[in-house]
């Protein structure tokens, strides 16, 4: 069997998830031993129109990006969205909370109407095309991506956690961030990160998106018990949770 | 077996000797980065780090017997399988009596019916130096469960009697270790033994921040009548299904099994990892049917495992040891088994 | 704690290798496999037991043994529903599979001896029942009248049709078959499997009723049996759960206090009265 051809594309993002692929270091030799990387703007100059697996970083904020993504989808048999911008819209979706003209005005000032600065409401990749697999996170955990690619090479559906961050946080023996008076949204956020933030003494910011069935009543109850309001909670969810669609 | 007295200075030498002569030594230490006094078992490199005055550890010591993730078998893709059994020897220092009870239960569960060589090999290669509780944790209810003190399940049990430790060796392994690592320790005097008993008597009633209003032996009977009690829905209404109660529990041992391969795609390993029956998809089958879809059904399942299902496998012993970890780990504060059992008791009155 | 030496104990998670001696796609989704353990030993299963089938790199899946213990080697029928079963569908004769087991309690043969047997199978419910049917055929004198009801959703999903015909041709077996939806090639009964129950000409109240099929089928079969005054003690059901470890440890298949991988998957219906999570 010939090696699957992989192409990596980026849209609106900080390219930090691609950096996570670069961060494979020696392991990148294993990766390119298993697949042919045929396009990857951040690391090579070659381009290709023929590939089996497309890896998409970033969210879609311009009509021409949506068209480009649709073309990629037609060419790839498997499409993987990587990173919060691609899987849930991520931080880019903050702007969807505001009037688009106001956003443009605020960011670009008098250039707001220039055609090359045209921007529209942010979409996650699956709001434009069908996504086969999502590797969540801001940034992604490169070992999770590596695992998912190996699964696909084996013909197996990768097992991406569907339980909250608390599971991993508890096995790391972290003290709950709520005990520090922080509004941690780990209990409603999909795990898989290994509870990196709480393990580094930060609350969970929710970058992997919500679990399938978060208990809203529990969240309300916990906020009340801590003398906080639903608005307080929402203020912590807005960074990654704005207008979020399904995460699976 | 012998009962020795080790002075506090002699004790440091005792621990240092163990650290210097044995490979894997794990002991209770302060989580220095954490706010307040929080403790965890970890690799012990200095006797000074050992904190036998701790109240409770964040995770139970089960992580050394049933690791959060461990390899079961290795294989060649399309070829043969090979067992992967860890034969490392280790010493755990500072295990509390309620955790000893939990370990004893796991020993039984992993050896009965089908013998689990992975768990049991680790267990048999583990030496346990236990210690009586010196300070009650905020949620402990071991006195209610009859697990505040023990007479077996350890190799050596240490009791802090003020100026010194009384060390009781309960096994030949413990006896040999005591002789080797604390050669100068003399026999405990009658007064020392009385002081040890005083500590244990105090714990037998004093580790009781949540009071079960019946005996532990009454719990299976309560559950027999309580299957349709409103308590399950009431409590589960604010359950995050986050599994924190499962993950911090010393008697939870359910696991998931997954395969992963090396980049060569030619070889790989099968691992098991901690799982939790509170997690939403725990009872899913192929085709995505969930046999325990409702939160209250999963919530009830945990309490029934502790108070009814597992006890049937253990000759009646309740599979909740009163460590109180789940109580502290549950953010919506619904996990407390004592609250549930007491409510059932009220309902059946 | 057990004081014996662990070195003497076999690893319960270690699969034994088996070789595929024959394979055949039965319909769109069902793959038939005939296997032999590489050790040369028989599998040693009882009718109704299952094995954990292991594909290295992908994982394990619990699969009912479909052949009778009286036959050489053993047979599995695998539905393509996930990564492991998909890989099994791609196997060829000579390929290797990992096998753990047999597990579970199977049918209690001794309790069935001397009784009239009524097998009610829906779709792939036939697969585990077949192990007992062929056992009964090979030990025909030990059992009373045998009636087999097979219901299949649509005509194209029928499988083991030669075997069904063979059973039908036997004088001492009553074989009744139905499909849910009419099909031009099908001249037999049309309707769900319960429509065959009135055609059974033995006293149901004295028979052992063995049921295996999709959850919805149980519901209707059990209602019908109640109407026919069949005692719960005489009904045996075969339940599906996520039997992940197969050895009563991992907890996934548990329904109330029962580990299905140990005490099931076959249960006497009356025993389920105390297992509200069962059906």
The answer to whether A175 contacts B68, with C-beta atoms less than 8 Å apart, is: no
Tell whether the model's pLDDT for residue B35 goes beyond 80.
no
* Mean pLDDT within B62-89: 94
**B interface test, pick of A218, A221, A222 with most B CB neighbours within 10 Å:** A218
The answer to whether B254 contacts C252, with C-beta atoms less than 8 Å apart, is: yes
**pLDDT tens per residue, range B49-59:** 999 999 999 99
Tell whether the model's pLDDT for residue B166 goes beyond 80.
yes
Same structural domain for residues C128 and C228? yes
What integer pLDDT is reported at residue A40 of this predicted model?
84
**pLDDT tens per residue, range C238-264:** 988 889 999 999 999 999 999 999 998
* CB < 8 Å from C in window 14-43 of B: none
The answer to whether C242 contacts B285, with C-beta atoms less than 8 Å apart, is: yes
The answer to whether A164 contacts B241, with C-beta atoms less than 8 Å apart, is: yes
The answer to whether B263 contacts A175, with C-beta atoms less than 8 Å apart, is: no
Q: Which residue of C has its CA nearest to B114?
A: C247
Tell whether the model's pLDDT for residue A42 goes beyond 90.
no
- Is C276 within 8 Å of chain A by CB? no
Q: Which chains touch B (3 or more CB pairs under 8 A)?
A: A, C
Nearest Cα of chain B lies from the Cα of A23 at a distance, in angstroms, of 17
- Is C94 within 8 Å of chain B by CB? no
- Is C55 within 8 Å of chain A by CB? no
Contact B219, B318 (CB under 8 A): yes
What integer pLDDT is reported at residue C69 of this predicted model?
95
What integer pLDDT is reported at residue A248 of this predicted model?
67
Beta bridge partners of C244: none
Same structural domain for residues C150 and C232? yes
* CB < 8 Å from C in window 181-240 of B: 227
Query: Chain C partners of B114 at a C-beta cutoff of 8 Å?
Result: 12, 247-249
- Is C80 within 8 Å of chain A by CB? no
pLDDT confidence bin for C4, thresholds 50/70/90: very low
* Mean pLDDT within C262-271: 94
Cα C69 from Cα C55, distance rounded (Å): 24
Assigned superfamily of A5-154: NADH:ubiquinone oxidoreductase-like, 20kDa subunit (3.40.50.700)
* Mean pLDDT within B270-281: 96
Radius of gyration for the alpha carbons in chain A, expressed in angstroms and rounded: 19
Average predicted confidence (pLDDT) for chain B? 95
- Is C58 within 8 Å of chain B by CB? yes
Inside any domain, residue C275: no
Same structural domain for residues C120 and C233? yes
Q: Looking at residue C16, which CATH number applies to its domain?
A: 2.40.30.10
ipTM of the complex: 0.94
Nearest Cα of chain A lies from the Cα of C56 at a distance, in angstroms, of 10
What integer pLDDT is reported at residue C73 of this predicted model?
95
Residue A167: count other Cβ atoms within 10 Å of its Cβ.
Answer: 25
Q: Which residue of A has its CA nearest to B257?
A: A159
Cα C16 from Cα C9, distance rounded (Å): 15
Inside any domain, residue C248: no
* C78, C103, C128 - which closes a domain: C103
* Mean pLDDT within C263-268: 94
Cα B313 from Cα C196, distance rounded (Å): 42
**pLDDT tens per residue, range A170-193:** 999 999 999 999 999 999 999 999
Inside any domain, residue C274: no
* C103, C132, C147 - which closes a domain: C103
* Mean pLDDT within B178-185: 92
Sign for the CA dihedral angle at C272, C275, C278, C279 comes to positive
* CB < 8 Å from A in window 12-51 of B: 31, 33-36, 38, 40
* Mean pLDDT within B326-349: 95
* Mean pLDDT within B235-244: 97
Strand spans (E) along chain B: 3-7, 24-30, 39-43, 69-76, 81-83, 90-95, 126-131, 156-160, 164-169, 186-187, 255-261, 267-274
Nearest Cα of chain A lies from the Cα of C28 at a distance, in angstroms, of 19
Tell whether the model's pLDDT for residue C6 goes beyond 70.
no
Query: Chain B partners of C60 at a C-beta cutoff of 8 Å?
Result: 257, 270
Inside any domain, residue C266: no
**pLDDT tens per residue, range C67-95:** 999 999 999 999 998 899 999 999 999 99
pLDDT confidence bin for B22, thresholds 50/70/90: low
Inside any domain, residue C10: yes
Share of residues in chain B with pLDDT > 90 (%): 91
**pLDDT tens per residue, range C120-134:** 999 999 999 999 999
* Mean pLDDT within A95-115: 91
* CB < 8 Å from C in window 233-272 of B: 253-259, 261, 265, 268, 270, 272
**pLDDT tens per residue, range C140-158:** 999 999 999 999 999 999 9
Nearest Cα of chain B lies from the Cα of C132 at a distance, in angstroms, of 24
The answer to whether B68 contacts A171, with C-beta atoms less than 8 Å apart, is: yes
Comparing CB atoms, the residue among B59, B264, B333 nearest residue A173 is B59
Comparing CB atoms, the residue among A164, A173, A213 nearest residue B40 is A173
Inside any domain, residue C88: yes
- Tell me, what DSSP letter sits at residue A117? G
Closest residue by Cα to residue A210 from A182, A235, A177, A245? A245
The answer to whether C58 contacts A157, with C-beta atoms less than 8 Å apart, is: no
Which residue range(s) make up the domain with C196? 109-238
Tell whether the model's pLDDT for residue B128 goes beyond 90.
yes
**A interface test, pick of C59, C80, C83 with most A CB neighbours within 10 Å:** C83
Average predicted confidence (pLDDT) for chain A? 92
How many domains, in total, are found in chain C?
2
User: How are beta strands C266-268 and C258-259 bridged, if at all?
Assistant: unpaired
**C interface test, pick of A148, A153, A154, A159 with most C CB neighbours within 10 Å:** A154
Nearest Cα of chain B lies from the Cα of C277 at a distance, in angstroms, of 8
Share of residues in chain C with pLDDT > 70 (%): 97
Cα C251 from Cα B283, distance rounded (Å): 9
Cα A91 from Cα C71, distance rounded (Å): 63
What integer pLDDT is reported at residue A241 of this predicted model?
85
The answer to whether B259 contacts C6, with C-beta atoms less than 8 Å apart, is: no
- Is B138 within 8 Å of chain A by CB? no
Q: Which residue of A has its CA nearest to C58?
A: A156
Inside any domain, residue C253: no
Comparing CB atoms, the residue among B243, B261, B332 nearest residue A150 is B261
What integer pLDDT is reported at residue C1 of this predicted model?
44
Nearest Cα of chain B lies from the Cα of A34 at a distance, in angstroms, of 7
Closest residue by Cα to residue C75 from C105, C30, C119, C110? C30
pLDDT confidence bin for A205, thresholds 50/70/90: very high
Closest residue by Cα to residue C125 from C79, C91, C71, C168? C79
Inside any domain, residue C277: no
Contact C239, B285 (CB under 8 A): no
Assigned token pair, C46: 């009882």
* Mean pLDDT within B261-280: 96
**pLDDT tens per residue, range B191-224:** 999 999 999 999 999 999 999 999 999 999 999 9
Same structural domain for residues C86 and C135? no
* Mean pLDDT within B139-144: 98
Q: Looking at residue C168, which CATH number applies to its domain?
A: 3.40.50.80
* C72, C103, C134 - which closes a domain: C103
Same structural domain for residues C60 and C29? yes
- Indicate the SS3 state at residue C152: strand
What integer pLDDT is reported at residue A134 of this predicted model?
97
Tell whether the model's pLDDT for residue C2 goes beyond 50.
no
């Amino acid at each position: 069997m010939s090696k699957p051809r992989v192409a990596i594309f980026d849209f609106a993002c900080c390219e930090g998830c691609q950096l996570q692929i670069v961060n494979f270091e020696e392991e990148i030799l294993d990766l390119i031993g298993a697949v042919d990387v045929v396009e990857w703007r951040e690391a090579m100059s070659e381009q290709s129109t023929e590939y089996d697996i497309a890896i998409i970083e970033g969210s879609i904020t311009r009509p021409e990006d949506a068209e480009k993504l649709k073309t990629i989808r037609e060419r790839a048999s498997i499409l993987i969205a990587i990173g919060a911008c691609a899987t849930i819209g991520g931080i880019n979706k903050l702007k969807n909370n505001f009037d688009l003209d106001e956003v443009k005005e605020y960011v670009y000032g008098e250039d707001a109407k220039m055609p090359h600065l045209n921007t529209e409401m942010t979409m996650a990749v699956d709001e434009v095309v069908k996504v086969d697999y999502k590797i969540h996170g801001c940034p992604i955990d490169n070992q999770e991506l590596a695992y998912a690619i190996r699964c696909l090479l084996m013909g197996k559906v990768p097992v991406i956690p569907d339980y909250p961050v608390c599971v991993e946080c508890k096995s790391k023996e972290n003290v709950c961030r709520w005990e520090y008076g922080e509004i941690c949204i780990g209990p409603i956020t999909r795990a898989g990160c290994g509870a990196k933030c709480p393990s580094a003494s930060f609350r969970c910011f929710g970058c992997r998106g919500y679990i399938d069935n978060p208990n809203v009543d529990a969240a309300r109850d916990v906020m009340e018990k801590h003398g906080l309001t639903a608005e307080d909670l929402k203020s912590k969810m807005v960074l990654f949770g704005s207008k979020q669609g399904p995460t699976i | 077996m012998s009962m020795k007295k080790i002075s506090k200075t002699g004790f440091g030498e005792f621990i240092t000797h163990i650290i210097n002569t044995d490979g894997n030594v794990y002991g209770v230490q302060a989580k220095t980065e954490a706010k307040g006094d929080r403790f965890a078992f970890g690799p012990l490199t200095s006797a000074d780090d050992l904190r036998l005055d701790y109240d409770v550890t964040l995770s139970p010591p089960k992580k050394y017997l049933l690791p959060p993730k461990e390899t079961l078998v290795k294989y060649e893709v399309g070829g043969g399988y090979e067992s992967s059994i860890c034969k490392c020897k280790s010493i755990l220092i500072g295990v509390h009596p309620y955790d000893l009870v939990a370990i004893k239960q796991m020993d039984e569960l992993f050896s009965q019916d089908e013998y689990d060589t992975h768990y049991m090999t680790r267990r048999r290669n583990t030496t346990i130096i236990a210690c009586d509780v010196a300070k009650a944790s905020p949620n402990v209810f071991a006195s209610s469960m009859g697990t505040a003190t023990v007479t077996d399940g350890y190799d050596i049990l240490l009791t802090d009697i003020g100026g010194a430790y009384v060390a009781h060796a309960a096994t030949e392994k413990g006896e040999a270790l005591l002789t080797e690592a604390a050669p100068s320790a003399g026999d405990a005097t009658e007064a020392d033994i009385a002081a040890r008993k005083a500590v244990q008597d105090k714990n037998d009633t004093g580790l009781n921040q949540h009071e079960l209003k019946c005996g532990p032996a009454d719990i299976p009977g309560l559950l027999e009548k309580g299957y349709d009690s409103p308590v399950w829905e009431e409590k589960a209404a604010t359950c995050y299904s986050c599994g924190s109660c499962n993950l911090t529990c010393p008697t939870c041992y359910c696991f998931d099994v997954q395969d992963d391969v090396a980049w060569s795609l030619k070889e790989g390993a099968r691992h098991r990892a901690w799982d939790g029956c509170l997690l939403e998809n725990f009872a899913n089958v192929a085709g995505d049917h969930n046999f325990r879809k409702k939160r209250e059904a999963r919530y009830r399942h945990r309490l029934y495992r502790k108070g009814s299902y597992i006890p049937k496998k253990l000759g009646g012993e309740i599979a909740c040891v009163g460590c109180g970890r789940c109580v502290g780990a549950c953010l919506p504060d619904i996990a407390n088994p004592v609250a549930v059992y007491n409510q059932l008791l009220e309902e059946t009155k | 704690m057990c004081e014996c030496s662990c070195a003497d104990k076999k690893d319960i998670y270690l699969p034994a290798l088996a070789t595929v001696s024959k394979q055949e796609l039965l319909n769109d989704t069902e793959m038939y496999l005939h296997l032999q353990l590489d050790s040369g030993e028989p599998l040693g299963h009882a009718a109704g037991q299952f094995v954990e089938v292991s594909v290295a790199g992908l994982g394990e899946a619990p699969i009912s043994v479909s052949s009778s213990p009286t036959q050489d080697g053993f047979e599995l029928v695998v539905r393509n529903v996930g990564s492991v079963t998909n890989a099994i569908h791609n196997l060829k004769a000579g390929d290797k599979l990992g096998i753990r087991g047999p597990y579970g309690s199977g049918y209690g043969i001794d309790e069935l001896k001397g009784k009239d047997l009524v097998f009610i199978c829906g779709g792939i419910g036939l697969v585990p029942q077949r192990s007992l049917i062929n056992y009964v055929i090979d030990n025909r004198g030990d059992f009373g009248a045998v009636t087999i009801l097979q219901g299949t959703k649509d005509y194209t999903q029928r499988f083991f049709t030669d075997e069904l015909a063979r059973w039908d041709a036997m004088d001492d077996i009553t074989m009744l078959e139905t499909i849910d939806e009419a099909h031009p090639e099908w001249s037999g009964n049309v309707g769900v499997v319960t429509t065959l129950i009135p055609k059974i000409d033995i006293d149901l109240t004295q028979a052992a009723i063995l049921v295996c099929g999709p959850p919805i089928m149980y519901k209707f079969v059990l209602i019908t049996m109640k109407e026919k005054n069949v005692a719960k003690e005489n009904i045996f059901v075969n339940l599906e759960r996520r039997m992940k470890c197969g050895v009563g440890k991992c907890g996934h298949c548990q329904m109330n206090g029962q580990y299905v991988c140990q005490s099931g998957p076959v249960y006497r219906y009356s025993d389920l009265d105390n297992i509200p999570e069962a059906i």
